[in-house]
Chain A
Amino acid sequence: MTGFCGIFLREMLIIRKRIFKMLLSLSVSPLLYMIAFGLGLGSRLEVENVRYMTFLVPGLIAMSTMSQSFAISSEINISRFYWRIFEEFQASPVSSLAIALGETLSGIVRGLMAAGVIIVLGIIFGVNLRLSFFLWISIWVNAFIFSALAVNTAMLVKSHADQAMLSNFVIIPMAFLCGTFFSTSTLPPWAYYVIQALPLTHTSKMIRASALGYPMPWVSFFVALGFGLVFFVSSIYTVKRAQV
């Protein structure tokens, strides 16, 4: 695992340099969603027997963790095609496993930061979540899935444009359809079954259940973990194949 620390530390140093900008930008979208959907549209709504804001915040945690963890794909992409920093990793005696692990963990850190920001905003908006061990495990699994996926996509795409297209076709639909803003039980059966095949549906369930003190949906937990492991193993392979 020579070099893993180098990859991870590099990403952490970059985060440290940008910390204030990052925290600020991580707060903007969730804040707008909370004001528009939570306070505006949802002020008189109840979903699954809780007020809408309480239902919404765990969904936002799931969505934001996903987006921020997946955002490392753009970072890797820029470092690969524009700054060519990724070449330094590839030219060093570091295994594909170490590169994939370092990048995935850095994505997880970003995801956890995003979750932390929303939890703080939730507290400000009067939403009391159970900050249990299971909540953090659920957030971690969500971040793991999407950072591992991000490493895959960053290695497979050939340009920044491809990267943007992937986000538009994969990440944005998931963000809106996988039970982040509404209960999936209200969907028609065909749509319900389609979205069960998407990892965010399961992590949303896990995060909402653990945040609101409901029993952990273990089937979703193992399905999500399975997604994460598959993406991580394939990321090792894609890193290895990212030669020309």
Chain B
Amino acid sequence: MVSQNDLLRDHQKVEMIRIGNLHKRYKKVIALNGLNLDIPAGSFFGLLGPNGAGKTTIVNILTTLTRPDSGRVTVNGFDVVKEPIRAKLEIGVVPQSINLDMELSARENLFIHGLLYGMSQKDIRQEGERMLSFVGLEECADRPVKDFSGGMKRRLMIARALMHSPRVVFLDEPTVGLDVTTRRKLWELLKKINQEGATILLTTHYIEEAEALCDMVGIIDFGKLIALGSPKTLIQRVGPIVVEQMAEDGIRTHFFSNRKEATSFIERLKGSALIREANLEDVFLELTGRRVNQ
């Protein structure tokens, strides 16, 4: 999106997002409990965790919709509490719920967004057309959004989030409720956005989504970061091969560093068992004793 981002991608140590000791409580519920996290510029970062883990709260704090109780959050060096207007210019947001103006057309939605971000009318028109073509909606740009399918609405939300060339794009469960084909098309779009230089923070509870898209994943549970690394590293850490043993009290999961060890384990077992490659769901299970989608 921004040419400077191409430079930042070459210097992965530059932190685009810094979260320090972040706390947030809603009445008696602790949403975030001293969260620390740094996200490098240019990365495609996935925040993985079950519903209620605190993912949306993080995005809402980063986008200044929610005030943290304590802690510090910066986006490209701008404090989201002390310099919210400046921080917001760095950010593009695709929220979980579809918050488009249904009565307006796609083009009008983008036009309003451009004005909200202080873009000139000339830039709005240019970027609007570019974004509509980027997400493949140029043919229906003048149709009311209420006539769009779920996937088209999501694509329009992504176009809207990119209109003002943000350095960071937050995507909060962007593929919820979409069919598999539309979801895969959106993945391609998101990869393209990242390849063009934007740092992406994606929250999801779809394991395969995080594995397919993210070069770095943070696993969050009860408002705390419990694991951080690339999907491959995290899987390696617990063991890349899984044996699921069908026991009387349910399925028991065993991790192995290679297939040979796993096979020899199965040979010693009396009951039936399944051997497969580990995924991030297994990492979560190993770390918390629960499944992400439980």
Contacts and interface: CB of A to CB of B under 8 A. Distances in A.
Interface in A55-99: 83-85, 87-95
9 tightest Cβ-Cβ pairs between the two chains A and B: A6-B115, A2-B118, A6-B116, A92-B116, A84-B99, A93-B88, A3-B116, A93-B85, A91-B63
A101 B115 CA distance: 15
Contacts of B63: 91
Interface string A151-177: 000000000000000000000000000
Interface of A is mostly: helix
Interface in B202-255: none
A29 B275 CA distance: 73
A7 interface: yes
Contacts of B112: 6, 9-10, 13
Nearest to A4: B115
Contacts of B36: none
A141 B243 CA distance: 74
Interface residues of A, number: 25
B116 A85 contact: no
11 contacts: A2-B116, A2-B117, A6-B116, A17-B103, A18-B103, A91-B93, A93-B88, A93-B89, A243-B65, A244-B60, A244-B66
A9 B114 CA distance: 12
A91 to B, nearest CB: 5
A68 B113 CA distance: 26
Interface in B88-110: 88-89, 91, 93, 95, 97-104, 108
A243 B67 contact: yes
B116 A94 contact: yes
A16 to B, nearest CB: 10
Contacts of B84: 93
B99 A85 contact: yes
A58 B271 CA distance: 88
Contacts of B276: none
B114 to A, nearest CB: 8
B86 interface: yes
A90 B91 CA distance: 12
A18 B97 CA distance: 25
A19 interface: no
Nearest to B92: A91
Contacts of A14: 101, 103-104
B76 interface: no
B108 A13 contact: yes
A95 B85 contact: yes
Contacts of B101: 10, 13-14, 83, 85
Nearest to A5: B115
A124 B101 CA distance: 37
A146 to B, nearest CB: 24
A88 B114 CA distance: 12
A30 B88 CA distance: 45
A83 B102 contact: yes
Nearest to A18: B103
B33 interface: no
A186 to B, nearest CB: 46
B194 interface: no
A6 B104 CA distance: 13
A87 B64 CA distance: 10
A90 B116 contact: no
Given A84-B97, A93-B86, A7 B116 contact: yes
Interface string B8-40: 000000000000000000100000000000000
A3 B65 contact: no
